[in-house]
Structure 1
Amino acid sequence: MNTLVFDIETIPDIEGGRKIYDLGDDLDDDGVAKAMYHLRFQKSGTEFLPHHLHRIAAISVTFRGRGDDFKVWSLGDESADEAELIQRFYDGIDRYTPTIVSWNGGGFDLPVLHYRAMKYKIAAP
C-alpha cells in the first residue's frame, strides 16, 4: 500500500485579489495583500482569506511505498511556478494511487489545490 502525507504552504493570490476587489495598479503587492486581509476582516471577523485567494508556494510530501521505500521531499524547486507544483502533485497521485494523509487536508489543502488546478486547467485524478 502506498501512503502519501502532504502539506501545502500558501501566500495571498495578489493577482486574484487585485481583480476581485478592483484594487487597480496604484497599490504595490504588499498593499494589495494588506487590503485583502483588511477587507476579509471587515466581512468575516477574520483575516484568513477564502480558499480561492490562496496561492500555493510549496508542497511537501512524505511517501511510503512498498517495502522500505520511504522518501521526504518538496515538489519542484525555488524556481518552480504554482502550476508545476500542482501538476507534479496530481501526477504523483495518478501514478501511485496512494492513501492520502494530511492535517486539515479536506478543509483546506485539497480545496485550495482544486481551486488552483481549475485556474491552470489541470485535471485532478
Structure 2
Amino acid sequence: MHEFEVLADAVRRRLVAVLALGEQPAGVLTDIVRAEFGISQPAVSQHLKVLRENGFATVRAEGARRIYALDPAGPDAAERALASLRSPLSQRLDALHTEVARGRRATAQQKTSHNKNRSAS
C-alpha cells in the first residue's frame, strides 16, 4: 500500500497523530478511535494492522498488553514521496518567478525611457 493510501483514511491519520505523542497501549488507541469515529474494536485492530504492515507503527508485548509506537519509517517515506512531487513544481514556480521579475524590469525600463523622452520634448 502506498504511503498516501495509508494516510488517506481519517482513522489511520488519527492513530498516527496519537502515536506521534508517544507510545500507547492498544486499549487506549481503541478507546480514542471508538469515541471519535464510532467504530468497533476489530475495525480499530485492522487499522493498526495496516499501520504496522506499512511501516507507520511498531508493536511490542508488555505482559498481556500490546504497546504501539510510531515508526518513523512511514512518515519519512510519505515525506519523501511529497518531496518528489514538490521538486518539479518548485522548479516551475522558480522559473515563473524569474519570468515575472524580467517582465517587471522590462516594464520599469520602458516607463523610464518613456518618461525621459517626454522630458526631452
TM range (shorter): under 0.3
Q: Please tell me whether Structure 1 or Structure 2 has the larger radius of gyration of its CA atoms.
A: 2
| TM-score, structure 1 normalization | 0.26
| Bigger relative contact order (CA 8 A; separation at least 6) | 1
Structure having the higher strand fraction is 1
| TM-score, structure 2 normalization | 0.27
